[in-house]
Amino acid sequence: MEATLEMPKTETAAHAKHHNPEHILKIGMGFWASKTVLTAVQFKLFTLLAKQPLSGNQIRQNLGLHERSYLDFLDALVSLGFLTRKGLGADGVYSNSPDADFFLDKNKPSYLGGILEMANNRLYRFWADLDEGLKTGLPQNEIKYATDDSKNQFDAIYGDPEALSEFLQAMSGIQMGAFMAFAKQFDFSKYSTFCDVGGANGSLCVQVAMNNPDMQCINFDLPVVEKVTKGTIDRFELSSRIKTAGGDFFKDVLPQSDVITMGNILHDWNDEEKLVLIKKAYEALPKGGAFVCIENIIDNNRSVNTFGLLMSLNMMIETKTGADFTFNDFDRLAHQAGFSKTEWMPLAGPTSAAIAYK
Ligand SMILES: C[S@@+](CC[C@H](N)C(=O)[O-])C[C@H]1O[C@@H](n2cnc3c(N)ncnc32)[C@H](O)[C@@H]1O
């Protein structure tokens, strides 16, 4: 009898037609595309091409690249939508795509590559230990190798001025779109004072001050950050309307203000610590004052905001106890702290504002 090669009944050709491996491969091999873009940012390729379009060969010489793969690198960036190209091969002329030119040219104020620089220098390698983090629940960044057990992620990074500066730029890069949207969308007309707690280099205060000429602002952060913040405020010539305050938000009283924001602060800490911070904000607000948390708030069903869910995994990599949260989680904690009303305001992409009124 002749042997026949038959597909199992459940996997007939007709059935297989309904399956498509594209999504699986795209996500599974996503690190190829990610690392290609991160490397282009590291090489300052987009800053170079913002000055003028260049041929493949000129780019190779400028960046000191080997002949073997530089065209694959550049053309992969074309296919990913980061570059455009006229012609082909070494003489083909490459330019930035409009978004790459706006957001990835280091000489423009709209540069958000800080977060990508940090992703390349720190997170990319730390995420290689995601499996270990998931099994142990322990951070996988510098804290893992710190000899002093009491260190948190900020102590670990802030000891090194270069790492501090890179971290602060990364923070403002990832939040800039949301900060701009919040400064325009939120109704500041009832209020006159504003404090951004954990405000890093002062980017949110700058946006609020620029868009709301009657607001007086305070940027509150650890004393080690103050010098960098003052530099940002001076660059925007806003020192008459933005002051800095150095302090520890767990130990010190927060400055009394009508509106208090925390951008990507609560997700660094566990629920008990989150509640302590929300209560501190409550105490510093007048009746009717607003506490605003600007983060990648996860949808209540925990199935749509992929960036928020992945950010929460990133908090496992980066912090001892932190995790992102849903709007319902925020609502529960805010009411526990004494707030009477909460609302949700979408801002930019995966980032939104969870607002609590006293
Ligand atoms: C994740 S960053 C967020 C920065 C900024 N708010 C944003 O949205 O991009 C956390 C900030 O909290 C500050 N921070 C951490 N621990 C602090 C503490 N105990 N007291 C005051 N600020 C603190 C850090 O210096 C840093 O600027």
Beta bridge partners of 356: 291, 342
Percent helix, strand, coil in the chain (nearest 5)? 50, 15, 35
Q: How far is the CA of 73 from the centre of ligand 1 (A)?
A: 36
Homologous superfamily (CATH) for 171-357: Vaccinia Virus protein VP39 (3.40.50.150)
Which residues are the active-site residues? 267
Note down pLDDT in tens along the chain; length 358 residues: 444 455 555 555 656 668 999 999 999 999 999 999 999 999 999 999 999 999 999 999 999 999 999 999 999 999 999 999 999 999 999 999 999 999 999 998 788 898 999 999 999 999 999 999 999 999 999 888 877 766 677 777 777 877 888 788 888 788 988 999 999 999 999 999 999 999 999 999 999 999 999 999 999 999 999 988 998 899 899 999 999 999 999 999 999 999 999 999 999 999 999 999 999 999 999 999 999 999 999 999 999 999 999 999 999 999 999 999 999 999 999 999 999 999 999 999 999 999 999 9
E strands, the chain, where? 54-55, 83-86, 93-96, 193-197, 216-221, 242-246, 259-263, 290-295, 341-348, 351-357
The two three-digit tokens of residue 142, written as one number? 């510098």
The predicted pLDDT at position 23 comes to 95
Q: How far is the CA of 303 from the centre of ligand 1 (A)?
A: 28
Q: Supply the CATH classification number for the domain 22-104.
A: 1.10.10.10
The predicted pLDDT at position 1 comes to 44
Which residue from 157, 196, 220, 222 has its CB within 8 A of the most atoms of ligand 1, so it is best to mutate?
A: 222
The predicted pLDDT at position 337 comes to 98
290-295: strand order across its sheet = 242-246, 216-221, 193-197, 259-263, 290-295, 351-357, 341-348
> Nearest C-alpha to atom 11 of ligand 1 is from which residue?
198
The predicted pLDDT at position 147 comes to 73
Give residue limits of the domains in the chain: 22-104, 171-357
Q: Name the CA dihedral angle for 236, 222, 197, 301, rounded to a multiple of 10 degrees.
A: 120
The predicted pLDDT at position 179 comes to 94
* Backbone dihedral region for residue 33 (phi beyond 0: left; psi -120 to 50: alpha; all else: beta): alpha
The predicted pLDDT at position 166 comes to 79
The predicted pLDDT at position 321 comes to 94
> Nearest C-alpha to atom 8 of ligand 1 is from which residue?
263
> Nearest C-alpha to atom 18 of ligand 1 is from which residue?
248
> Nearest C-alpha to atom 12 of ligand 1 is from which residue?
198
The predicted pLDDT at position 180 comes to 93
Ligand 1 atom, smallest distance to 152 CA: 16
The predicted pLDDT at position 3 comes to 47
Backbone angles phi, psi at 194, to 5 degrees: -140, 135
CB of 282 closer than 8 Å to CB of 358: yes
The two three-digit tokens of residue 246, written as one number? 């150095």
Ligand 1 atom, smallest distance to 224 CA: 25
Ligand 1 atom, smallest distance to 200 CA: 27
pTM for the whole thing?
0.90
